[in-house]
């Protein structure tokens, strides 16, 4: 795998999986532009500070990105311990808005990679709702739809990861055919990142202990990053519309 000569925009580069993707991409020869609300803690080729919960802030951030780049990695996210509105805005509506606004800058043959989650595995149970939300046009219209179809706070993180998987899947082929840009998801299981404790709090000890029996251990951010980087490379040029579990086999235990 090589990313030599590519320019990649990565959100969430200040910590966790986003930081590891940035390190690996630069090691593989890419120029990396980071986007985050927090200042970077590693060397990047460019950085845009932005609040990814606000469409106006996202538009301002996109205006600062290169006129053309090769991949967009949507890694930034907030845990379910945040307010339901913030989870919706960052993990789904803002991600979608950023991707749609940046699409015209992504080179033909380029790639979009969205970080979903193993917690989105139950998307088929709510497929009709997720497809209806996916058809809404724009951030504000999506936000209005959510007001009319409220999501319980205790399950909002899972819900919007499900919605992200569905939107990414149903939108991917249209963009691949029309723009030559691939879009895929990577679905991590539990990962040792700064927000792992938030997930323990969100899910509760009973669920966490049950899940612990289904896996060898939580993953490390540098075990997720290579799959994201690979999807940005030309080696994955015929992969589009996939949701790839990188979870130590947890997904297989749901069958």
Residue 51: which CATH number? Answer: 3.40.50.720
Residue 207: predicted pLDDT = 73
For the chain, list the strands marked E by DSSP: 7-11, 31-36, 46-49, 69-74, 106-115, 182-188, 191-192, 219-220, 243-246
Residue 198: predicted pLDDT = 60
254 is catalytic: no
CA angle 81, 85, 90 (to 5 degrees): 80
Range of the domain at 139: 7-238
Residue from 92, 121, 157, 159 carrying the catalytic annotation? 157
Q: Is residue 199 part of a domain?
A: yes
Q: Is residue 1 part of a domain?
A: no
DSSP 83-147: -HHHHHIIIIIIHHHHHHHHGGGEEEEEEEEEE--GGGTTGGGGHHHHHHHHT--SHHHHHHHHH
Report how many domains make up the chain. 1
pLDDT mean values, one per 10 residues, the chain (255 residues): 95 97 98 97 97 98 98 96 96 98 98 97 97 98 98 96 98 98 96 70 69 84 98 98 96 86
* pTM more than 0.85: yes
Q: Is residue 252 part of a domain?
A: no
Specify whether the CB–CB gap between 241 and 33 falls below 8 A: no
Helix, coil or strand: residue 194: coil
Residue 99: predicted pLDDT = 98
Q: Is residue 11 part of a domain?
A: yes
Residue 201: predicted pLDDT = 67
Residue 200: predicted pLDDT = 64
Interatomic CA distance for residues 129 and 22, integer angstroms: 34
Q: Is residue 247 part of a domain?
A: no
Q: Is residue 28 part of a domain?
A: yes
Residue 196: predicted pLDDT = 62
Q: Is residue 245 part of a domain?
A: no
| Helical pair 127-134 and 156-179, crossing angle rounded to 10 deg | 50
Rounded alpha-carbon distances, angstroms, from residue 196 to 11, 78, 100: 18, 11, 29
Beta-carbon contacts of residue 211 (< 8 Å; ≥ 6 apart) = 190, 203, 250
């Amino acid at each position: 795998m090589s990313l030599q000569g590519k320019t990649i925009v990565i959100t969430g580069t200040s910590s966790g999986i986003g930081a590891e993707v940035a390190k690996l991409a630069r090691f593989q020869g890419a120029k990396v532009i980071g986007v985050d609300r927090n200042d970077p803690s590693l060397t990047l080729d460019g950085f845009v500070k932005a609040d990814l919960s606000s469409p106006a802030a996202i538009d301002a951030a996109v205006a600062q990105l290169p006129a053309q780049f090769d991949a967009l990695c949507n890694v930034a996210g907030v845990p379910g311990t945040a307010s339901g509105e913030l989870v919706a805005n960052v993990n789904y509506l803002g991600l979608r808005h950023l991707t749609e606004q940046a699409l015209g800058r992504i080179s033909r043959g380029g790639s979009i990679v969205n970080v979903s989650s193993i917690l989105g595995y139950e998307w088929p149970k709510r497929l009709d709702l997720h497809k209806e939300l996916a058809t809404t046009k724009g951030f504000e219209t999506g936000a209005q739809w959510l007001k009319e179809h409220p999501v319980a706070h205790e399950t909002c993180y899972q819900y919007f990861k499900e919605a992200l998987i569905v939107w990414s899947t149903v939108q991917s082929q249209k963009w691949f055919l029309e723009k030559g840009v691939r879009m895929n998801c990577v679905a991590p299981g539990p990962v040792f990142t700064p927000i792992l404790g938030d997930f323990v709090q969100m899910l509760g000890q009973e669920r966490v202990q049950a899940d612990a029996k289904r896996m060898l251990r939580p993953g490390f951010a540098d075990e997720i990053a290579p799959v994201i980087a690979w999807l940005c490379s030309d080696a994955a040029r015929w992969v589009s519309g996939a949701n790839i579990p990188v979870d130590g086999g947890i997904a297989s235990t749901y069958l």
